Structures are given as structure tokens and as C-alpha cells.
Chain A
Amino acid sequence: MNNGFISGIFAVFIGLWSATLLSDTEGVFDQYRDLLGDDNPAIFVIFDGEEIWYTPAGPKSVSLEQCDLGLGPGVVEGAYAQLPRYFADVDRVQDVEARLEYCMTQLQGLTPDEVHEKPYSLRGDLGTELEALVAWIADQSSGLAIAPGQAHAKERATYALGENLFYYRAGPHDFSCATCHEQTGRRIRLQALPNLTTHQGAAEAYSSWPAYRISQGIVRTMGWRMRDCMRQQRMPELMMGSQASVALQTYLAVNGAGASMTAPGLKR
């Protein structure tokens, strides 16, 4: 598969899209998925992520090979499916993004400010290193059951916090996550909304991120999804790897536990 093939597919897709935009938005994305078959443009991002993992970087010029994602230093396969989890070395629960920040600061010598400068792409960007790393790490858990840690007291407290945050209404519109995501069969305009309080809804949502966003041409992470939902709730900017971001992801991961990871997925 090459870039010419991709742009050809994309042209077909745009044609289909404009023809049927208002009648069946989800349908045309399904058609695009069918055209791609098993191919997902995220594959290029996954390759990038793997390369970034093994490339020395930062002031200390070391790679992330000794980074412990929860299964021991350097073990990537299966690690994503067991996140968020408690890490004794920081005495807190971390998601993949908080953990990567820890490894980049501790192993590679980057400052937190450098890691936080631009974790997620803006529209029109070609992707960040963090997005590529997360895509690769998640791909290494594809097909495995979602199994976040819930044995440690702090893991259970993080879930409880996530549930409270899910229902926390604030801002000029009084929105919470629950406003859009505690009922089944609902949608905003034509966009279907998963019921994240149920196993099925949480499993479908959690298992499919990170995802290649067709409309944006980049891979988006679960941390970005949390940040963008907060933006739509009229809240300030949610920081990557923050306590609230980790807690909300823990709430979703535990509700969806047992389902198989399918990420990186393909989304509209």
C-alpha cells in the first residue's frame, strides 16, 4: 500500500461523502472502512511509534526501551490493555500518557513542560510523537482483554473519582459527561453517543481508542478524546496524564473490562 493508493481511496471517499452527507453520515464512513478492508492508515503511525520508542532522544540521549509500562522495563506487548494501573515508583495510578511522561522525564531527561508543550496534534498537523507512541503501544495490545488494575486501593479510589467526575456538572452550560453519555440510543445531531455507564457502551468506546480520525487524517488518543469532550462541555483545557484524565479513563476501562482491544480503530 502506498500514498497514491491512500489518496485514491480518499478521493473516492470524499465523493461518497459529499453525495450522502446529510442522509447517512455513519453509512459513508462504513463504506470507507469497507473499501480499506483490513488496511488502516494508522499503520504508518504505528511504525513511527515503534521507531520513536527505540530511538535515543532527550538531553540524556537514551531510548524508551527501559520504560516500564506496568509489565516490567521494556515490555510493551499487552501493557496497554492493563492500563490505567497503580505504579509503586510514583505511588499513583497512571494511564499510558502519564506513564510516557514519567519515562520521558526520568529516562530521557525531558522537562514536564517539554512533554506538555504539544502532546496532541492541532487540526492540519501530521501527528505528534506522543500520538505515534500511544498508537504503537496500543497496537501491541490489540485483541487482548481490557484489564485495568483494580486490586490496589488507589486504583479503586481512582475509579470512584472517575465516576464522580463523570457526573460532575459545571460551566455555563451545566454539562457533565453524563449529559451525553448516560443514556442508550441517543445522538447529537447525527453523531451516535455511547452509553458509557454500561459495559457494552464503555467497551465499544474504550476498546477503539486510540483511533485514526478519517476527518482529521491523524491518530487521536484516549487522552485527547477526554480533553476534547471537556472542551465541548465548555470546560478549561484538560492536561494529558492528569489525575482527572486518568480517573475518567479508569472509569471507562473498568466499565468495559473483559472486552477485546480493537485499537487503533478507524473513526469518522
Chain B
Amino acid sequence: MQLLAFIIFSSSLCADEPYDALLDSMTDKNFVTVERLKQDELQEFCSQPRTASVDEARAAELRAAALSDVPIPSGENYLGDWQLGEKVASNGRGLQYSDDPEQENGGNCYACHQLDPSEVAYGNLGPSLSGYGARGQSIVMLQYTWTKLWNTHAYNICSHMPRFGAAGILTEQQLRDVMAFLFDPNSPVNRSQP
């Protein structure tokens, strides 16, 4: 009897589950399909309202899993071309159904971060990264930053930032270029404030 009640209860709740509601409410558009509505375990864990209590053990598990999956760039070469990286940082296109899938994706860094201090159109969802290179180019700094770009959850579980490497938004080469934009002393990110 209890089991029956449980089945009836859960099936009546079913239509109000977010995934089912979204599947029922959305249609494929251009190259974007409803496959995207499925959550991986990290997305599922990070979809709790802010007021919900956090399962610390699970958080630690997911953080460790994220960290263990971050590759070292080939040849341990972390830094590419800052000028190309600047383009990646400025480009907000990519993976929206209105975007051209033939074009390379942008990182859209300026949507959320200040970088080159002379660019006034920057967002503030994330911290300012102006002068980022002042911290130097030690292997610890390079690895930390590479990891943050590849999968932010390795350090900051449920951060708002996309997993640019792990989710395949940017290529390894694009990430190296963004790294150079952050670290290179000649990059405008590291120019003194105007």
C-alpha cells in the first residue's frame, strides 16, 4: 500500500520535474538539440537553490574528480599568442543556436571580467583580472590558471564559470592563447591603468 502510494505520488510529481518540463517545452533549433537539457552529475549537484544545504562530502568528491581530469598541455607549453588570446576573450559567439557552428567559439571573457583596463565594456559577474600577470609566471601560477580555465570546479565547486576546456568550448590552442593574454608582460591586461 505504501509502495503504491509512493508510485502514485512520484508519478504525479514527474511532470513537474525540471528536466521533463524542459523536454516538453523545448524544440531542436538549428544544430542545438534537446540533448543539451540532460544534466551531468556536476550540473545536477550545482542546480540547488542558494538556500539549500550543501552536501560537503559530495562536493569534495566532485571537486577531486574535476581536478583529476585536467590534462597538462602538450609539451607543458602553457602560453600561446596573447594577441590571438585577446580575440578569444572579446568574442562572445559560439554554441547558441543563432551562431554559425562553422566559426570558432569565443571565450566571452569580457562578459564577466575586466581584463585590458582600457576596455570599458566589461562585466562584473567575475573578479577583475586586470594586471593578472603581475603574479609572475611560476609553474604553480601557470598550472593554477590552466586548471581554472579548463574546469573551474576543480578549485571552486559550483562556480558560475563555464568549463572551457572540459566542456570543449575552447581548444587547447585557444586556451594557451588566453593564458598568454593573461600572463604576457606585453599583453594589455598587464599595462598600467590609464
Contacts and interface: CB of A to CB of B under 8 A. Distances in A.
The SS class assigned to the A binding surface is mixed
Interface of A: 22-23, 25, 157, 160-161, 163-176, 178-180, 182-183, 185-191, 193, 197, 230-232, 234-239, 242-245, 247
Contact of A236 (B16, B18, B19, B36): B36
A5 to B, nearest CB: 32
A165 B16 CA distance: 10
A21 to B, nearest CB: 9
B21 A247 contact: yes
A236 B49 CA distance: 23
Nearest to A157: B16
Nearest to A154: B16
A139 B32 CA distance: 35
Contacts of A238: 25-26
Given A170-B37, A236-B29, A236-B37, A186 B24 contact: no
A186 B21 CA distance: 29
11 contacts: A23-B120, A163-B49, A166-B49, A167-B49, A173-B162, A179-B160, A182-B50, A190-B121, A193-B125, A197-B50, A238-B26
Contacts of A161: 16, 18, 21
Nearest to A231: B96
Nearest to B120: A22
B39 interface: yes
Given A161-B16, A172-B169, A174-B163, A236 B97 contact: yes
A191 B122 CA distance: 9
A60 to B, nearest CB: 27
B58 interface: no
A243 B16 CA distance: 9
Interface in B27-45: 27-29, 32-34, 36-39, 42-43
B26 A172 contact: no
Contacts of B25: 238-239, 242-245
B112 interface: yes
A170 to B, nearest CB: 5
Interface residues of B, number: 45
Nearest to A245: B25
Contacts of B32: 234-237
A237 B125 contact: no
B29 A169 contact: no
Contact of A165 (B21, B38, B122, B169): B21
Interface of B: 15-16, 18-19, 21-22, 24-29, 32-34, 36-39, 42-43, 46-50, 95-98, 110-112, 120-125, 160, 162-163, 167-169
Which of A163, A166, A179, A237 is the most central at the interface, judged by chain B CB atoms within 10 Å of its CB?
A237
A174 B160 CA distance: 8
B157 to A, nearest CB: 12
A175 B92 CA distance: 14
A235 to B, nearest CB: 6
B36 A234 contact: yes
A164 B18 contact: yes
Nearest to A24: B120
A234 B97 CA distance: 7
Nearest to B19: A168
Contacts of B163: 174
A128 B116 CA distance: 42
A239 B111 contact: no
A196 B47 CA distance: 16
Given A189-B111, A236-B34, A236-B97, A243 B24 contact: yes
By Cβ-Cβ distance, the 7 closest A-B pairs, closest first, are A242-B25, A244-B25, A237-B29, A173-B162, A236-B26, A169-B43, A188-B123
Contact of B112 (A23, A25, A188, A234): A188
Contact of A183 (B21, B26, B97, B125): B125
A23 B168 CA distance: 34
B147 to A, nearest CB: 16
A66 B189 CA distance: 62
Nearest to B50: A182
B15 to A, nearest CB: 8
A173 to B, nearest CB: 4
